[in-house]
Amino acid sequence: MAKAKKAEVSDYERKRQENIAKTQALLRNLEMEAAQAGLGPTSKAASSSKPKPKKAAPAKRVKVEDVTPRRTSSRLKGIEADSEKAKRKAEEEYVATKEADRAKRQRISDAFNFGDITVVGKTWDQSGNFLRIVGPANPYERTFDFDDANDITDKDVKVLREKMSGLQLWEDFEPNEIKITPERIYAMGLHPTEEKPLVFAGDKLGNLGICDASQKAAEVKVEDDEDADTEGPTITTLKPHTRTIHTFQFSPHDSNALYSASYDSSIRKLDLAKGVAVEVYGPQDPNEDQPLSGLEISKDDANMLYFSTLDGRFGMYDMRTEVMDTQIFQLSDKKIGGFSLHPQHPHLVATASLDRTLKLWDLRKITGSGDERGPALVGEHESRLSVSHAAWNSVGQVATASYDDTVKIYDFGDCKDWKPGHELTEQEMKPKVIVPHNNQTGRWVTILRAQWQQFPQDNIQRFCIGNMNRFVDIYTGKGQQLAQLGGDGITAVPSVAKFHPTLDWVAAGTASGKLCLWM
């Protein structure tokens, strides 16, 4: 059979081949000229006379299986585009993806050993745990100057102002070296022990970071290497929840027990002595979504949990009973951002809500039935914008922070004399002090909350709150500013601030998971 005659080349193809040949010839000429001028690349890169320091071997990562279903090709399966079969396939893939996402976020009710939920840091062991030794923001622009402050005449408060303004950042590590959690910090606290500063922080993805701030920086450091990575302190990260840890509290009855409340609808008890995390509360239906926004245990009853939710409900649960016996009251039509119990009279509850109100409730008198059942309302005060948090102190003051750029201090010092069903007038519910304060956190900074020191040793009531200019502000119960804590290495807003219960230590966390600690 005769061979087929070769197809003739078109003018366009002939022109294209000529252009390619010209380009290749030009490149060859350029390479030859560069080689003659000594500009060509050498066969091997010149070895550096300065040996690079050996980097530490990275920690072995545990491979996490991705439960998200893989996408598959409809064309390879012979499914025509826009056909009924293709539509059914797309719907099935969408449902599978949603189900995988739901499973990833759903709470896990099983008990955990700390070793099973350790993400990074030290491996937990009972004999070696941390308790064995028990407007627009203008970054770095101060809004308070200790040298110019002359508004205080009380001698004791003057001494306290000097003391608080003298607090210094942890000297061994800068804040940008102390990444206590992988994600944005929502909750912060210091363990009650006075032996050493032991800091806990909860983040957006359910991680709990633990940092022993008695650590010292290594004496021997890598020299002559400006590019060497700086190493921060040793931090252990646990993952007791699948979603945001909004708040946690050390039990007033057992300092080894830490209770955490999460957006995954559960409350867990972490036993720091045994190294075990157990779920103590969660909705009966594991698929029910009931994100929690607050948690507290009163000094009067170690078994009674109080909690609030993002849909405006307030709950009371005795941990010795079944979950079905939980008492839940609808106290607001909108989100309750935070609540607190009076430290001395825990039947009094203060709630702060997205509905712009601070409300006081008396748990001694619960009336009504069905959805209308709830504690007696003592009084309420409405702000211009939403109220983020309400915190009682031991002398009957309540501090709130709201989006109208104020911190309000209310005084209910006579609350010990209130009888069940007592009601306050509109005038009695007005704040005694209003402090101007920039609370416009925006989307990426955790909401600012005023937090009292529980047991001040000098009996001068004081609270701390983050400052959008990358400081932490400290005020007295009369609204007098004591200090504005700052320092080098603070590269983000330390929005979540908390006092040690008794000592003048202040810990604050940022949206990047970094820790600022003043002592």
Highest mean pLDDT among 19-23, 31-35, 44-48: 19-23
Q: Which residue has the higher pLDDT, 57 or 169?
A: 169
Q: How far is CA 143 from CA 126, 148, 245, 433, 468, in A?
A: 46, 11, 31, 18, 10
Dist. CA 84–CA 342, nearest whole Å? 62
Lowest-confidence segment of 16-20, 221-225, 452-456 by average pLDDT: 221-225
- For residue 68, pLDDT over 90 is answered with no
514 against 149, higher pLDDT:
514
Backbone torsions φ then ψ of 158, nearest 5 degrees: -60, -45
Residue 27 has which token pair?
A: 């490149």
Q: Which residue has the tokens 């050996």?
A: 54
Residue type, 431: P
Cβ–Cβ under 8 Å, residues 187 and 202: yes
Mean pLDDT across the chain: 85
DSSP 458-492: T---EEEEEETTTEEEEEETTS-EEEEE--TT--S
pLDDT (average), residues 100-120: 73
The pLDDT, as a whole number, for residue 213 is: 94
The neighbouring-strand residues paired with 506 are: 499, 518
**DSSP character string of 136-155:** ---TT--S--GGG------H
Of 288, 251, 233, nearest in space to 109 by CA: 288
As a whole-number percent, the residues of the chain with pLDDT over 90 amount to 63
3-state secondary structure of 416: helix
**pLDDT, position 183:** 96
Q: Which residue has the higher pLDDT, 31 or 399?
A: 399
Q: State residue 217's pLDDT score.
A: 84
pLDDT one-digit tens code per residue, 169-187: 999 999 999 999 999 999 9
Residues 6+ apart with CB under 8 A from 196: 133, 212, 213, 214
β-strands 304-309, 374-382 pairing:
unpaired
Taking 80 as the threshold, does the pLDDT of residue 346 lie above it? yes
pTM for the predicted model, two decimal places = 0.76
Which two three-digit tokens encode residue 87? 């539509």
Task: Tell me the residue ranges of DSSP E strands in 161-221.
Answer: 185-190, 198-203, 208-212
Amino acid occupying residue 231: E
C-alpha 494/C-alpha 486 separation (Å) is 9
**Is 80 exceeded by the pLDDT of residue 277?**
yes
Between 165 and 35, the more confident residue is 165
Residue 348 has pLDDT above 70, yes or no: yes
Longest dimension (CA), the chain: 116
What DSSP state is assigned to residue 46?
Answer: P
Q: What is the pLDDT of residue 11?
A: 82
Residue 56 confidence (pLDDT): 46
Reply yes or no on whether the pLDDT at 77 is more than 70. no
